[in-house]
Amino acid sequence: MTEPSAATPTDAAPAPTSGLENLLTEARRFPPSPEFAAQANATADLYSWANADRTTFWAEQARELLTWSTPFTQTLDWSDAPFARWFADGRLNAAYNAVDRHVEAGHGDRVALHFEGEGGDTRALTYADLQREVSKAANAIAALGVRTGDRVAIYMPLIPEAVVAMLACARIGAPHSVVFGGFSAEALSSRILDAEATLVITADGGFRRGSASALKPAVDEALAKGAPSVQHVLVVRRTGQPVEWTEGRDVWWHDAVEAASAQHAPVEVEAEHPLFILYTSGTTGKPKGIFHTTGGYLAQAAYTHLNVFDLKPETDVYWCTADIGWVTGHTYVVYGPLVNGATQVIYEGTPDTPHRGRWWEIVQKYGVTILYTAPTAIRTCMKWGEEIPGQFDLSSLRVLGSVGEPINPEAWTWYRRVIGGDRTPVVDTWWQTETGAIMISPLPGVTEAKPGSAQVPLPGIAADVLDDDAKPVPNGAGGYLVLTEPWPSMLRGIWGDPERYKDTYWSRFPGMYFAGDGAKKDEDGDIWLLGRVDDVMNVSGHRLSTTEIESALVSHPWVAEAAVVGATDETTGQAVVAFVILRGDATEAAGSDAATVQQTLRDHVAREIGPIAKPRQILVVAELPKTRSGKIMRRLLRDVAEHRQVGDATTLADSSVMDLIAAGLNKPAASSD
């Protein structure tokens, strides 16, 4: 067995996530049951079909799974690589594909969304309801001046109006930019500015951990920083909290949408028309506006949702627990399931409100058959104990999915045994905001599953693991994950920054897409993901940039310098640990109180980025370990944060620094909430 670090020798080499050290010794195998295999949507011949002619394979998927107002005749144009054009001469509308065509096909009475509010309020929207609501909302936002091509920012809790708002934008061809409701006013502001949004759709607030939490004030604060492009703010009343109102700018959703006509003709757009922008953390301080276009994205969203989850739209009840603020919510709450005509559950709240069995109660109540969630949630449930899910009837479940970070074999087998009753396939799905849809995953009726491994590229997808010299590694060895062929739902770029797109993804290994993940091939050639190899952390399946948090820290007047690392955490995968050097006068200002420094800086990061970015620990140090060229050696800091013997420090400009840091650590300083 080769050490992952042998193939990832950069300073930013990944720290193995909990349990991953033992990955390749994992010998348990879970083949699909004959009953499952016999009824599965995807069979093994999908691989040979796709391998025989990848382009034609995708063209057939796109024709089969989508309704085109103008059929395409060209499949892939890669002549201007890495800028791809898929199905470019075809025209279609995303909302029509997600909603209207199901009503036209006679499925208007099928429930599209079972909404479960945190407080227990529920609503069911059929496809006919959705068609009416989306049409009204499209008319309402058009009346507010939104035109095809304009960008709309959406900052909402997970309520049906959020899905309606996204589809209303898609209906008029106005790319949406959803900003996770947990992000700060500061983060919202920078995203609104970068996308030059003309409209912001928000809510007074949402319900979180048993109480109303406000959203509208963050929008007011973001716009107060200056946002010349924004004409209007459309506000859904969800909690009934009092809100400040800017006359002429702010409009209530219930006034505008309820008064609007329910007739709206979806705008046909070109396949390459942008559908959405979604900001994600990169290795620099500035988040990247990843943008996706319509035809290719929808084709792969539908294809993966149908085959990876084995969806049967007439009988399944599907539930993906992601928020619409992340790509998982875009592809596997909104576009994939709705384009496939699925019935799904959406839930506003947290898994432990009002009790730790809430998720399982929801599974039982709606008879959920397919569940898609993140390893961090599974590990949290493991910690709470299996007697909690044991109190509910989970026998409706037939497929379980995992996404967002590597799933350790223990969590995988627990998920299958305790939640899946030892009978359901578990699919570990690897993908990214940039890939738009699932790329590497078992097929539940075909693949003999290995706990902890995403295993194989889906039919139509080509991936490899390369060493530093861009050579594919042999089985049993590790390196960098790359995608070697373009795919329909690939990002089309970084909004407004084509050079950064080329540099970030296409320059490390020319001609290939560099994912930023470390990976290994096992003896069978199956792929095991090992975590990021760049300065990106993964905390509870959410992507955070070390540099972005460092920038937030140094923007505080007390901080002279900061270095942030992702340290292994049993539940969240990684946790943010910050090392800071304080300015001379800061110690005085803080009254030399370590707890005050910690609290102040943690709150500051929450205000600058959002509570998810709050460091678990902030350690005040006198120096940071740097190379002679001035680069911070995060690898050494990670050793400290993970309480390991500090590794090779010979390239440090001043090798005594690590002794100082380690000595400082023996003083009690840590805290967390």
Other CB atoms within 10 A of residue 254 CB: 12
Applying CB under 6 A, the span of 191-199, 300-308, 416-424, 536-544 interacting with ligand WT7 comes to 536-544
| Nearer CB in complex with ligand WT7: 97/432 | 432
Buried b or exposed e, range 8-42, using 16+ CB within 10 angstroms? beeebbbbbbbbbeebbebeeebebeeebbeebeb
Q: How many residues bind ligand WT7 (CB under 6 A)?
A: 23
| Nearer CB in complex with ligand WT7: 62/539 | 539
| Nearer CB in complex with ligand WT7: 205/329 | 329
Q: Is 556 in the site for ligand WT7 (CB under 6 A)?
A: no
Pick one of 133, 161, 405, 550: the residue that binds ligand WT7 (CB under 6 A).
405
Q: Which residue has the tokens 């942008």?
A: 274
Q: Looking at 314-449, which runs of residues are DSSP E strands? A: 317-320, 343-347, 370-373, 399-403, 426-429
Smallest distance from ligand WT7 to CB 212, Å: 28
Applying CB under 6 A, the span of 37-45, 232-240, 462-470, 535-543 interacting with ligand WT7 comes to 535-543
Smallest distance from ligand WT7 to CB 357, Å: 25
What is the contact mask toward ligand WT7 in residues 224 to 263, using x (rule: CB under 6 A)? ----------------------------------------
Smallest distance from ligand WT7 to CB 519, Å: 9
Smallest distance from ligand WT7 to CB 515, Å: 6
CB 156 within 8 A of CB 250: no
Applying CB under 6 A, the span of 38-46, 305-313, 425-433, 506-514 interacting with ligand WT7 comes to 425-433
Smallest distance from ligand WT7 to CB 583, Å: 33
| Nearer CB in complex with ligand WT7: 270/434 | 434
Smallest distance from ligand WT7 to CB 322, Å: 8
Total residues belonging to the chain: 673
Opening angle at CA 17, ends 16 and 19, nearest 5: 100
Applying CB under 6 A, the span of 114-122, 213-221, 340-348, 399-407 interacting with ligand WT7 comes to 399-407
Residues 63 and 146: their CA atoms lie apart, in Å, by 30
Other CB atoms within 10 A of residue 317 CB: 19
Residue 139 CB contacts under 8 Å (≥ 6 apart), including other chains? 260, 261, 263, 264
Pick one of 370, 403, 490, 618: the residue that binds ligand WT7 (CB under 6 A).
403
Q: Is 431 in the site for ligand WT7 (CB under 6 A)?
A: yes
| Nearer CB in complex with ligand WT7: 109/524 | 524
Opening angle at CA 52, ends 47 and 57, nearest 5: 75
Smallest distance from ligand WT7 to CB 566, Å: 11
Helices and strands of the chain, counted as H and E runs? 24, 30
| Nearer CB in complex with ligand WT7: 139/280 | 280
Q: Is 517 in the site for ligand WT7 (CB under 6 A)?
A: yes
Residues 599 and 344: their CA atoms lie apart, in Å, by 40
Q: Is 280 in the site for ligand WT7 (CB under 6 A)?
A: yes
Residue 31 CB contacts under 8 Å (≥ 6 apart), including other chains? 448, 449
Q: Is 429 in the site for ligand WT7 (CB under 6 A)?
A: yes
Q: Is 276 in the site for ligand WT7 (CB under 6 A)?
A: no
Q: Is 23 in the site for ligand WT7 (CB under 6 A)?
A: no
Smallest distance from ligand WT7 to CB 350, Å: 18
Which SS3 state, helix, strand or coil, does residue 449 take? strand
Q: Is 408 in the site for ligand WT7 (CB under 6 A)?
A: no
Residue 490 CB contacts under 8 Å (≥ 6 apart), including other chains? 84, 296, 434, 435, 436, 483, 513
What is the contact mask toward ligand WT7 in residues 318 to 347, using x (rule: CB under 6 A)? --------xxx-------------------
Q: Is 515 in the site for ligand WT7 (CB under 6 A)?
A: yes
CB 584 within 8 A of CB 623: no
Query: Pairing relation of β-strands 478-483 and 513-521?
Result: antiparallel
The Cα-based distances of 545 to 27, 226, 296, 551, 565 in angstroms read: 34, 25, 28, 10, 9
Q: Which residue has the tokens 């609501």?
A: 133
Beta bridge partners of residue 205, listed in sequence order? 214
Q: Is 454 in the site for ligand WT7 (CB under 6 A)?
A: yes
What is the contact mask toward ligand WT7 in residues 617 to 656, using x (rule: CB under 6 A)? ----------------------------------------
Pick one of 205, 406, 566, 615: the residue that binds ligand WT7 (CB under 6 A).
406
Transcribe 466-498 into DSSP letters.
E-TTSPBPPTT-EEEEEE-S--TT---EETT-H
Pick one of 117, 389, 404, 451: the residue that binds ligand WT7 (CB under 6 A).
404
Pick one of 538, 540, 547, 598: the residue that binds ligand WT7 (CB under 6 A).
538
| Nearer CB in complex with ligand WT7: 405/526 | 405
Residues 623 and 59: their CA atoms lie apart, in Å, by 57
User: In the structure encoding, which two tokens stand for residue 267, read together?
Assistant: 């705008």
Q: Which residue has the tokens 């001035």?
A: 630
Q: Is 433 in the site for ligand WT7 (CB under 6 A)?
A: yes
CA atoms within 13 A on the CB side of 75: 15
User: Binding residues for ligand WT7, per CB under 6 A?
Assistant: 280, 326-328, 403-406, 428-433, 454, 515-517, 529, 532, 538, 541, 543
